[in-house]
């Protein structure tokens, strides 16, 4: 038995020779970088940041997407993008990641290797290094194939001050592109409900978008609308600020395949996950600057102004329909699409 094996076995998790081979031949080989030392208990991060002018930022995320590979991405690239995006929307540059893999007995080694390669490529593209990792093997029937967790360390200029506490009535709400592509692409990849299609997930790094936006004074807050989508982000703004949010349905970019699936299944695109979009709140007089910066990037060509922050709180997000009516987007309760990220 070795990695000439085609499938993961419990022995790949036991601290002995097979685990060492799994780590060396799959993880260390593809993720190789000067900091990663798979024999060390802990590694030194040579961050060399200016502690007077920069802050150290920290975040973590878990990934359980099913299927593990989907049009436009896989759980590996998603585990890099998801965590680095959380640093990016906080205004930081991602620097280092840790990686935990919970691998189910029986997973094909070839699938695991493709996913680790994709993860390594996503990290290289972002200039981020996986400096620490751990693998556990779960018994067949206890794992769902593969779960990943990544923790990210980044640095941010102290001069960049973003947060919900910066949001003011009258501010403008922007999105960097169409919403819900990730949720529907993953759903279609499952071939549930007899539906299929070739919609690509939007899963990607948002770092070019966030780094462009932080150049603009008047940027208040950014977030990537993952679980719970645009509705969840705007609900959190209401809860944190006591202000209201009004969204203009006609301005929110939604791709035709997303609209079509939503109509067939009764889903609401505002609750669907994106994995490569940014929602930003900007002072109204500077919104056009962020929009122009985003539209000049490939990642932001469909960016749009989609709503405003209102002084009056309501119990939900107000969605103004194209005919001038109003709907309230309630906070999400049931779960249309589990294991979406």
| Chain residues 267-306 in contact with a copy of itself, contact rule CB under 8 A | 273
Q: Does 124 bind a copy of itself (CB under 8 A)?
A: no
Nearer to a copy of itself, 143 or 257 (CB): 143
Whether residue 68 contacts residue 108, with contact meaning beta carbons closer than 8 Å, is answered with: no
Burial of 236 by CB count in 10 Å (0-12 exposed, 13-18 middle, 19+ buried)?
middle
Burial of 286 by CB count in 10 Å (0-12 exposed, 13-18 middle, 19+ buried)?
middle
The CB-of-220 to a copy of itself minimum distance in angstroms stands at 14
Rounded Cα distance, 129 and 127, in Å: 7
Number of Cβ atoms within 10 Å of the Cβ of 158: 11
Rounded Cα distance, 207 and 299, in Å: 10
Residues 164-223 within binding reach of a copy of itself (CB under 8 A): 164, 223
Q: Does 311 bind a copy of itself (CB under 8 A)?
A: no
Check the CA dihedral 276-282-284-285 and report its sign. Answer: negative
Binds a copy of itself (CB under 8 A): choice among 3, 5, 25, 56: 56
Residues 62-81 within binding reach of a copy of itself (CB under 8 A): 62-64
DSSP 108: B
Binds a copy of itself (CB under 8 A): choice among 4, 6, 34, 44: 44
Q: Let me know the angle formed at the C-alpha of 199 by 195 and 203, rounded to the nearest 5 degrees.
A: 125
The CB-of-121 to a copy of itself minimum distance in angstroms stands at 21
Nearer to a copy of itself, 256 or 334 (CB): 334
Show the site string, 11-30: x = touches a copy of itself by CB under 8 A, - = not.
Answer: x-xxxxxxx-----------
Nearer to a copy of itself, 219 or 232 (CB): 232
- Token reading at 84: 């680095």
Q: Does 137 bind a copy of itself (CB under 8 A)?
A: yes
Q: Does 144 bind a copy of itself (CB under 8 A)?
A: yes
* Residues contacting 327, CB < 8 A, separation 6+: 318, 319, 321
Nearer to a copy of itself, 4 or 44 (CB): 44
Cα dihedral 210→214→217→218 (10° resolution) = 40
Q: Does 157 bind a copy of itself (CB under 8 A)?
A: no
Pairing of strands 304-310, 172-175: antiparallel
The CB-of-334 to a copy of itself minimum distance in angstroms stands at 6
Q: Does 147 bind a copy of itself (CB under 8 A)?
A: yes
Nearer to a copy of itself, 84 or 291 (CB): 84
Nearer to a copy of itself, 141 or 266 (CB): 141
Whether residue 202 contacts residue 275, with contact meaning beta carbons closer than 8 Å, is answered with: yes
Rounded Cα distance, 139 and 41, in Å: 25
The CB-of-285 to a copy of itself minimum distance in angstroms stands at 25
Whether residue 177 contacts residue 300, with contact meaning beta carbons closer than 8 Å, is answered with: yes
Binds a copy of itself (CB under 8 A): choice among 77, 118, 135, 178: 135
Q: Does 241 bind a copy of itself (CB under 8 A)?
A: no
Q: Does 126 bind a copy of itself (CB under 8 A)?
A: no
Picking from 217, 173, 166, 162, the residue whose alpha carbon sits closest to that of residue 310 is 173
Residues 321-340 within binding reach of a copy of itself (CB under 8 A): 331-335, 338-339
Residues 81-110 within binding reach of a copy of itself (CB under 8 A): 86-87, 89-90, 92, 96, 98-102
Whether residue 255 contacts residue 199, with contact meaning beta carbons closer than 8 Å, is answered with: yes
Q: Does 133 bind a copy of itself (CB under 8 A)?
A: yes
Binds a copy of itself (CB under 8 A): choice among 228, 257, 300, 307: 228
């Amino acid at each position: 038995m070795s990695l000439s094996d085609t499938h993961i076995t419990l022995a790949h998790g036991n601290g002995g020779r097979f685990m060492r081979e799994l780590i060396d031949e799959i993880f260390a080989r593809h993720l190789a970088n000067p900091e990663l030392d798979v024999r060390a208990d802990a590694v030194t991060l040579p961050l060399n940041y200016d502690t007077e002018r920069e802050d150290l930022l920290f975040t973590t995320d878990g990934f359980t997407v099913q299927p593990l590979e989907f049009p436009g991405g896989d759980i590996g690239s998603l585990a890099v993008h998801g965590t680095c995006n959380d640093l990016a929307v906080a205004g930081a540059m991602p620097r280092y990641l840790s990686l935990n893999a919970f691998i189910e007995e029986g997973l094909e080694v070839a699938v695991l290797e493709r996913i680790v390669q994709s993860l390594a490529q996503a990290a290289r593209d972002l200039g981020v290094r996986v400096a620490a990792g751990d693998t556990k093997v779960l018994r067949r029937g206890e794992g769902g194939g593969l779960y990943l967790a990544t923790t990210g360390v980044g640095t941010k200029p102290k001069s960049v001050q973003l947060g919900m506490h910066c949001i003011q009535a009258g501010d403008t709400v922007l999105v960097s592109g169409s919403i819900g592509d990730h949720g529907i692409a993953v759903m279609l990849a499952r071939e549930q409900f007899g539906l299929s299609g070739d919609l690509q997930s939007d899963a990607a790094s948002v770092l070019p978008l966030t780094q462009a936006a932080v150049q603009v004074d008047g940027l208040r807050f950014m977030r990537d609308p993952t679980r719970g989508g645009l509705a969840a982000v705007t609900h959190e703004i209401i809860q944190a600020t006591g202000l209201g949010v009004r969204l203009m349905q006609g301005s929110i970019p939604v791709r035709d395949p997303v609209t079509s699936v939503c109509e067939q299944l009764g889903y609401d695109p505002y609750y669907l996950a994106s994995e490569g979009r940014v929602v930003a709140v900007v002072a109204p007089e500077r919104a056009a600057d962020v929009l122009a910066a985003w539209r000049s990037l490939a990642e932001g060509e469909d960016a749009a102004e989609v709503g405003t922050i209102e002084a009056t709180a309501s119990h939900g997000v107000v969605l103004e329909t194209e005919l001038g009516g109003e709907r309230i987007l309630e906070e999400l309760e049931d779960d249309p699409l589990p294991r979406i990220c």
